[in-house]
Chain A
Amino acid sequence: MLEYLTLILICQLVGEISINLLELPIPGPVVGMILLFLYLLAKGAVPSALSNVSSTLLTNMSVLFIPAGVGVMAHTTLLKTDFWPIMIAMVVSTLVTIIVTALVMKKLNKTSPPDGAPQPND
């Protein structure tokens, strides 16, 4: 288990270093995710110990946002100007985005051939 926690941290570390060197506009952990993904592609399977580490992290991911959330909410003065426009835009825009994205994806995914059906270009 410890070796795979180390692997995850190595992926993140290499991600952080590469975004600094290449000045990429994406976060280090996202590059780390791509690196771990490439590792899995090369390996061809998910080792069960890695699976355990990741499910522990991922099933409890919500709690990890709390420290940052407390930090930004403690600075409430920032939300005083344009409070209502920001609040309303935030709620409406988020809900509309969920609906639009889900319906587009549902529509496009439905029009593709179902599982196992022969593809036109195969």
Chain B
Amino acid sequence: MIEHFSAVWMEMAANPLFNLTLTLLVFVSASYLYRQFNNNPLLNPVLVSIVVLVGLLYVTSTPYDIYFKGAQFLHFLLGPATVALAIPLYRQLERVKKSAAAILFSVLCGSITAAGTAIFITWLMGAQWVSIISIAPKSVTTPVAMGITEQLGGLPSLTAAIVILTGIIGAMFAPALLKLCGVEDEAAKGIAIGAASHGVGTARAIQISEVAGAFSGLAMGLNALATALLLPILWQLFRG
């Protein structure tokens, strides 16, 4: 009997349907928990889901490849969702046009602040060069950040982990922090969240308002471009 169960379990755990359902079930439960605790940022559903799923994979010694066979259906939709950001952006076209100069300058400030403070703090705390390079593009969307790191001689896989965590930190604390700083302008909220915490932050900004989501998506794209161009120069100055 037990052998039979364990055989069925092994088969189920390798089934894409199981891992897709598991991911959704964990996220839906985490979202429920989050609402139950009045949207406490420490219970951010993305963070809680990742921790729970990593724990489950570890306990059941399921290799990530097997898990991903199911989870990839969600992962795949990230591309189309990014393309779909064009719609809120188009709806805010008038506001974007009016604030074009302000948007460009703010994102530029954000890009330099993000890389500059990350480099400075890790350097001050005596981190190795490879860690300093790998954290520098942390506020940029994952594929671009990994490309920048690779170009400068860091570890792209370390960058990927840091980028995801940065996005989660932004998504967790941005709303409360912006309130604390008296920022009520939805456009300013969106630009700040997108520039500091890329797609994960943008997904959170969409929940704040459509305006914040549109500006966040725009800031994410502009910041990727600005950082890809500026960071190699900033890095030269810092090392020179």
Interface residues of A (CB under 8 A from B): 5, 8-9, 11-12, 15, 25-30, 32-37, 39-41, 46, 50-51, 53-54, 57-59, 61-75, 78-79, 81-82, 84-86, 88-106, 108-110, 112
Could you tell me if A65 and B126 are in contact, using CB atoms closer than 8 angstroms? Answer: no
Contact of A27 among B74, B107, B127, B143 (CB under 8 A): B143
- Residues in A whose Cβ lies below 8 Å from that of B80: 5, 8-9, 12, 29, 57
Could you tell me if A73 and B87 are in contact, using CB atoms closer than 8 angstroms? Answer: no
Could you tell me if A70 and B79 are in contact, using CB atoms closer than 8 angstroms? Answer: no
- Across the interface, name the chain B residue whose C-beta is closest to A40: B90
Could you tell me if A58 and B81 are in contact, using CB atoms closer than 8 angstroms? Answer: yes
- Which secondary structure dominates where chain A touches chain B? helix
The verdict on B10 contacting chain A, using a C-beta distance below 8 Å, is no
- Residues in B whose Cβ lies below 8 Å from that of A104: 105-106, 109-110
The verdict on B85 contacting chain A, using a C-beta distance below 8 Å, is yes
Could you tell me if B54 and A70 are in contact, using CB atoms closer than 8 angstroms? Answer: yes
Q: A100-B109, A102-B181 are in contact. Are A74 and B54 (CB under 8 A)?
A: yes
Could you tell me if A54 and B135 are in contact, using CB atoms closer than 8 angstroms? Answer: no
Could you tell me if B75 and A64 are in contact, using CB atoms closer than 8 angstroms? Answer: yes
- Across the interface, name the chain A residue whose C-beta is closest to B78: A64
Could you tell me if A86 and B135 are in contact, using CB atoms closer than 8 angstroms? Answer: yes
Could you tell me if A72 and B164 are in contact, using CB atoms closer than 8 angstroms? Answer: yes
Interface residues of B in 98-127 (CB under 8 A from A): 98-99, 101-103, 105-107, 109-110, 113-114, 117-118, 121-122, 125-127
Could you tell me if B84 and A58 are in contact, using CB atoms closer than 8 angstroms? Answer: yes
- Residues in B whose Cβ lies below 8 Å from that of A74: 54, 57-58, 64
Could you tell me if B142 and A68 are in contact, using CB atoms closer than 8 angstroms? Answer: yes
The 5 closest A-B pairs by CB, nearest first: A67-B71, A102-B192, A108-B102, A101-B110, A29-B82
Could you tell me if B147 and A25 are in contact, using CB atoms closer than 8 angstroms? Answer: yes
Could you tell me if A66 and B71 are in contact, using CB atoms closer than 8 angstroms? Answer: yes
Interface residues of B (CB under 8 A from A): 23-24, 27, 45-46, 49-51, 53-54, 57-58, 64, 67-68, 71-72, 74-75, 77-91, 98-99, 101-103, 105-107, 109-110, 113-114, 117-118, 121-122, 125-128, 131, 135, 138-139, 141-144, 147, 155, 157-158, 160-162, 164-171, 173-174, 177-178, 181, 183, 185, 187-189, 191-193, 195-197, 199-200, 202-204, 206-207, 213, 217, 219, 221, 224-225, 228
Could you tell me if B109 and A101 are in contact, using CB atoms closer than 8 angstroms? Answer: yes
Q: Could you write out 11 A-B pairs with CB less than 8 Å apart?
A: A32-B82, A33-B82, A40-B86, A57-B77, A61-B203, A65-B46, A68-B164, A82-B127, A92-B121, A109-B187, A112-B98
- Residues in B whose Cβ lies below 8 Å from that of A28: 79
Could you tell me if A101 and B213 are in contact, using CB atoms closer than 8 angstroms? Answer: no
Q: Given A33-B217, A65-B46, 18 other A-B contacts at CB below 8 A?
A: A11-B83, A11-B86, A32-B82, A36-B83, A63-B23, A65-B200, A67-B68, A68-B75, A82-B122, A90-B135, A90-B165, A94-B197, A97-B196, A98-B173, A99-B192, A102-B191, A103-B181, A105-B188
- Residues in A whose Cβ lies below 8 Å from that of B225: 26
Q: A33-B85, A36-B84 are in contact. Are A72 and B126 (CB under 8 A)?
A: no
CB distance from B45 to the nearest CB of A (A): 7
- Bound Cα distance A66, B89 (Å): 25
